[in-house]
Structure 1
Amino acid sequence: MNAFTRYSHETLVGTEIRQREDPPVSSAILSVVAGERVPGPARSTASTNPANTADVVGEIGLAGPEVLVQAARVAREAQLGWSALPAPQRGQVIANVGRLMTANKARLAALVTREIGKPLAEALGEVQEIIDTCDFFLGEGRRLYGQTVPSEMPDKQLFTFRRPVGTVVVISAGNFPVAVPSWYIVPALLCGNTVVWKPATYSAVVSDAFYQLFAHAGVPAGVLNVVHADGPDTFTGLEQALQAGLVDKVGFTGSSEVGRRIGELCGRHLQSPCLELGGKNPMVVTENADLELAVEGALFSGFGTAGQRCTSLGTVIVQESVHADFVELFGAAVAAARMGDPTQDVLFGPLLDEKFAAGFEKSLGWIAGHHRVIGSTGRVTADNPRSGFVGDPAAGLFYHPVIVAGVRPDDELFLHETFGPVVGVTTYSTLDEAIALGNKPGYGLSSSIYTTDPRQAFQFAQGISAGMVSVNNSTSGAEAHLPFGGNGKSGNGSRQSGIWVLDQFTRWQSLNWDYSGKLQKAQLDTATVEADFDFRLP
């Protein structure tokens, strides 16, 4: 914790929550259960800087399935006491988290940049998103409203209450290693749940710093637990914890393929998980669009974070009358964009990890003979250079940004998420055709339309299947008080952020209070008012 500003709990929370001691220093980042480091990892792995793969950010001790089960058991035992803390006090803890994040914004962002290669400006924005989330949800501690409902019988009152679901397992990806976990963890804790969090192994050092800030903000031991494990052991541990009745809710951000498996697993236990999955996000450019603005939006949403956002632009669907002009402008903008060392002023840096580099290279194999490729493809090297590259391309996992024009609706490149710096371009004649093209891949996360005609904007929003629509803005970008989530292959309709996420982490309870002193039976004893329905005006 030495790298982070630290406040005492007496200052931030009050003396009712005990002072927390830092976990003992270890040579590796280990799981944390009940506030203690879990010894004896099954094996270890290294987290390296993708912009400089020789830079080892940290060694990660990977736990086995039994540690996830243990963490779920600890969280279940801690949940009753945490939920008994009044919601406004839980909100105060969330306020403390926000204050600590603010005090440590630059340090945490620098660690995000080092471990996953996200440009520093974006990393700072990601930490700000945590702060915004805390700012929103600290007030929800005083607004977990229910309702007083009129009864159909006398001397009787009806009420509704939000109750916490219980123990939540959160499994998150590493492309947004701190912002996305906060979307789950902050509202889950605020609502009175306890959490077991399994972050991505390639962002585990950032995850550990994130955990420490929560711990020092006043989150008691056992209320937030962290398990570092690989994918198979995580799935096995989750399966065992569900079978043991230790888990009440699962939140998952990741690929559609893994999301299906988690959805199936939860369904066997009659649970509905919160699934935030991939996307093949379309951008429609109409004949009346501001083309320079559309290009700016396509550049940011297509190549920001090296195209590794779930909301990254997949295909630009351009009205055929402006297609040639758009492609020319877009190609020039991509050629001029700065890329490279993420600590510098660049649009994007490296891919996150070797496994993502391998997956992206596979998607480049979908480029076919009928496509027109604008720009170089593949890894940036001395033999395959990029003009104006910032830094040493040989040091990291850097790939050329590429535009592929002429994609067709049956192309692999059109249908599937690529998760890397490639954007397809196709044409349309009518807006109905553009909407059909946008819906064809079967995802439904984010979308965008550039137009100066309000009727086109509303027609697009009504027809597109995406959970999020932008008009004259990019496919990427979320605010803490707006629902985030998708449909189809992008998710199961659950939503994060804003008041809408409360339905993921609370259950509605109704209270029927009869003080009449006798048994009144709804529908059977309800009085009715008679009317003369034969009456006719003279």
Structure 2
Amino acid sequence: MTTSTVSDRIFRSVNPADRTDTVAEVPLGAADALLDVFRTAKQAHEAWAATPAPVRGRVIAAFGRLVEANAESLAGLVTREVGKPLHESRGEVQEIVDTCDFFAGEGRRLYGQTVPSEMPDKQLFTFRVPVGVVVTITAGNFPVAVPSWYLVPALLCGNTVVWKPAEYAAACADALLSLARAAGVPAGVLEVVHADGPTTFEALSRGLEESLVDKVGFTGSSEVGARIGELCGRHLQSPCLELGGKNPMIVAADADLDLAVQGALFSGYGTAGQRCTSLGTAIVHESVHGEFVSRLGQAVEEAVVGDPRADVLYGPLISEVFAERFEEYLTWIGPHHRVSGSTGRGRISSSNPRKGFVGDPEPGHFYHPVVVDGVRPDDRLFLEETFGPIVGITTYGTLDEAIDLANLPGYGLSSSVYTNDPATAFGVRRGLRAGMLSVNNSTSGAEAHLPFGGNGRSGNGSRQSGIWVLDQFTRWQAVNWDYSGGLQRAQIDTAQIDADPGFRLT
């Protein structure tokens, strides 16, 4: 069950492909209710941390198996609640399974080190210890996969977790919690709270002040992430921040253009462009620019859009909020831009139709895909994240120029380069500030055993997934054990080497 105080404020989560379909109604808790959950998690922490790590690993393994057994139902719920095409929802659920498979084994590792001492009869050790209570706040574009990147390793490491999902993904969160409960995660060790943004921020501030919260994990916008980072910094905490991106794709002169277009189509318009790793700007060499624009424009025009239960490139935008923001992004298109193709612009409807649309667009948040050529370095379309099905294109002459353009917006999450030249690939790797680079692949895509995260406006350098995330959910503890029977003072009593200071080579 979801832990939340009954409230007269009810949030209604609706199907973005059919706004007449109510997926869930959840009460939004007040700040005091969230604090009560923080206290419950604090009380549950000692027993969970004392549970042997291999046992916690078996719980994580059971969780993965239950998700796998219920994969089709969970994927269907993801599609219904956030509008993600069913094939993407299935991939998202598989990401949870992969994450559990990886971290179940970490329950038998969580390695420390034995370190040699400079003193006799003395041993030095290091241990990983859990941080305590983790508060995780996630977005709804990946309503189950991205939360698992926090929940699974945090629980495996012996922490208790309070998860605040996006309100518009409430049903997905409750479903994932029920699977975790069935896998053996005790009440109090993992709790879900539903609340709006201001309430969550108030509760988080008070929870940090009262030492109820030991770690914050946040996935969302750079603006909100900056506020959370500032709040945590005042309490000498370092949050795990996974924020937005303006992810570049460099298309070199020798690139396989068909492959580059496939990558741009998937990363620019998959999930309706609502990924933190979505393609922002294609930076194309001037010698192939015209051909790339032509091919991408044709691919976008021919792409199938519509009912996410069908075989479509993308479905609706997640909610009315994202639809309104996307309409604002469309106003950034200026007279010096060239909009490629004839697919239309704005909301898809009977009066603004899209050829080949699948289903009925009227009850949903469906929008035409947009390709904007002629983007300049001082354009908002170039500098700012645009969460939706819109991709900008600009040109470059030299590789140094391409790298400068890729770094200019100040984000640093994901990137890609299409080339068959190793010197170009490694030159881009050295020059880009992004935390992730794909060579001849799209800007989107992650694997459970590879570090995920960004720099600059995309995050504070923290990483999720793989062994690297363990540093987010554990602290290093150093232990020295002196069994000499006397006081040995390091550095002071260290044995000195008897060298001959007058020795000279002849």
Q: What residue in structure 1 maps to residue 300 of structure 2?
A: 334
Q: What residue in structure 2 maps to residue 299 of structure 1?
A: 265
Q: What residue in structure 2 maps to residue 174 of structure 1?
A: 140
Q: What residue in structure 1 maps to residue 444 of structure 2?
A: 476
**Aligned partners of 2:56, 2:366: CA distance in 1, in Å?**
43
Please state if 1:518 is matched with 2:470: no
Alignment of 1:372-451 (within 5 A): 372-375=338-341, 376-451=344-419
Q: What residue in structure 2 maps to residue 206 of structure 1?
A: 172
Q: What is the percentage of aligned positions where both structures have the same residue?
A: 69
Change (3 A) 1:204 1:520: same
**Aligned partners of 2:390, 2:248: CA distance in 1, in Å?**
13
Q: What residue in structure 1 maps to residue 152 of structure 2?
A: 186
Matched to 2:267, the amino acid is S
**Aligned partners of 1:533, 1:279: CA distance in 2, in Å?**
59
**Aligned partners of 1:157, 1:207: CA distance in 2, in Å?**
46
Instruction: Give unpaired runs (5+ residues) of structure 2.
Output: none
Matched to 1:228, the amino acid is H
Matched to 2:210, the amino acid is A
User: Which residue of 219, 223, 236 corresponds with 1:257?
Assistant: 223
| 8 Å Cα contact 1:54/1:395 also seen in 2 | yes
Deviation at 1:383, TM superposition (A): 1.6
| 8 Å Cα contact 1:168/1:249 also seen in 2 | yes
**Aligned partners of 1:225, 1:209: CA distance in 2, in Å?**
12
Structure 1 residues 335-377: Cα deviation after superposition (integer angstroms, max 9, x where no partner): 1111100000001000000000011111111000000011421
Matched to 1:489, the amino acid is R
Give structure 1 regions of 4+ aligned residues with deviation exceeding 4 angstroms. Answer: none
Deviation at 1:58, TM superposition (A): 1.3
Q: What residue in structure 1 maps to residue 500 of structure 2?
A: 532
Deviation at 1:476, TM superposition (A): 0.1
Deviation at 1:67, TM superposition (A): 1.4
Deviation at 1:60, TM superposition (A): 1.4
Deviation at 1:417, TM superposition (A): 0.4
Q: What residue in structure 2 maps to residue 356 of structure 1?
A: 322
User: Which residue of 447, 452, 470 corresponds with 2:420?
Assistant: 452
Deviation at 1:39, TM superposition (A): 4.5
| 8 Å Cα contact 2:5/2:33 also seen in 1 | no
Matched to 2:50, the amino acid is A
**Aligned partners of 1:434, 1:533: CA distance in 2, in Å?**
56
Please state if 1:134 is matched with 2:107: no
| 8 Å Cα contact 1:168/1:247 also seen in 2 | yes
| 8 Å Cα contact 2:14/2:168 also seen in 1 | yes
Matched to 1:345, the amino acid is D
**Aligned partners of 2:453, 2:46: CA distance in 1, in Å?**
30
User: Which residue of 42, 59, 69 corresponds with 1:93?
Assistant: 59
Please state if 1:347 is matched with 2:313: yes
Please state if 1:82 is matched with 2:16: no
User: Which residue of 281, 285, 301 corresponds with 1:319?
Assistant: 285
| 8 Å Cα contact 2:45/2:132 also seen in 1 | yes
Change (3 A) 1:225 1:275: same
**Aligned partners of 2:438, 2:163: CA distance in 1, in Å?**
31
| 8 Å Cα contact 2:6/2:28 also seen in 1 | no
Instruction: Give unpaired runs (5+ residues) of structure 1.
Output: 1-22, 24-30, 33-37
| 8 Å Cα contact 2:5/2:30 also seen in 1 | no
**Aligned partners of 2:5, 2:436: CA distance in 1, in Å?**
43
Alignment of 1:151-300 (within 5 A): 151-300=117-266
What's the secondary structure of 1:316's corresponding residue? strand
| 8 Å Cα contact 2:134/2:162 also seen in 1 | yes
| 8 Å Cα contact 2:293/2:340 also seen in 1 | no
User: Which residue of 467, 472, 480 corresponds with 1:499?
Assistant: 467
Matched to 1:509, the amino acid is Q
- With 284-293 and 237-246 compared, the bigger mean Cα shift is at 237-246
Please state if 1:487 is matched with 2:487: no
Q: What residue in structure 2 maps to residue 14 of structure 1?
A: none
**Aligned partners of 1:257, 1:42: CA distance in 2, in Å?**
29
**Aligned partners of 2:30, 2:125: CA distance in 1, in Å?**
44
User: Which residue of 109, 123, 127 corresponds with 1:143?
Assistant: 109
**Aligned partners of 1:185, 1:141: CA distance in 2, in Å?**
14
| 8 Å Cα contact 1:42/1:64 also seen in 2 | no
Deviation at 1:405, TM superposition (A): 0.0
What's the secondary structure of 1:404's corresponding residue? strand
Deviation at 1:252, TM superposition (A): 0.2
Structure 1 residues 148-197: Cα deviation after superposition (integer angstroms, max 9, x where no partner): 00000100000000000000000000000000000000000000000000
Under a length normalisation based on structure 1, what TM-score does the superposition of the two structures give?
0.93
C-alpha root-mean-square deviation of aligned residues, in Å? 0.8
| 8 Å Cα contact 2:63/2:180 also seen in 1 | yes
**Aligned partners of 1:268, 1:487: CA distance in 2, in Å?**
21
What's the secondary structure of 1:446's corresponding residue? coil
User: Which residue of 20, 23, 26 corresponds with 1:60?
Assistant: 26
| 8 Å Cα contact 1:447/1:469 also seen in 2 | yes
Structure 1 residues 448-497: Cα deviation after superposition (integer angstroms, max 9, x where no partner): 00000001100101100100000000000000000000000000000000
**Aligned partners of 1:179, 1:144: CA distance in 2, in Å?**
23
| 8 Å Cα contact 1:42/1:63 also seen in 2 | no
Matched to 2:396, the amino acid is Y
Structure 1 residues 490-534: Cα deviation after superposition (integer angstroms, max 9, x where no partner): 000000000000000000000010000111011100011122243
What's the secondary structure of 2:437's corresponding residue? strand
Please state if 1:464 is matched with 2:432: yes
**Aligned partners of 2:148, 2:366: CA distance in 1, in Å?**
28
Matched to 1:201, the amino acid is E
Deviation at 1:45, TM superposition (A): 1.5
Structure 1 residues 218-270: Cα deviation after superposition (integer angstroms, max 9, x where no partner): 00110001110000001011111111110000000000000011011101110
**Aligned partners of 1:531, 1:317: CA distance in 2, in Å?**
61
| 8 Å Cα contact 2:255/2:418 also seen in 1 | yes
Paired residue total: 504
Structure 1 residues 297-323: Cα deviation after superposition (integer angstroms, max 9, x where no partner): 000000000000000000000000000
**Aligned partners of 2:6, 2:309: CA distance in 1, in Å?**
35
**Aligned partners of 1:126, 1:326: CA distance in 2, in Å?**
30
**Aligned partners of 2:244, 2:260: CA distance in 1, in Å?**
23
**Aligned partners of 2:167, 2:176: CA distance in 1, in Å?**
14
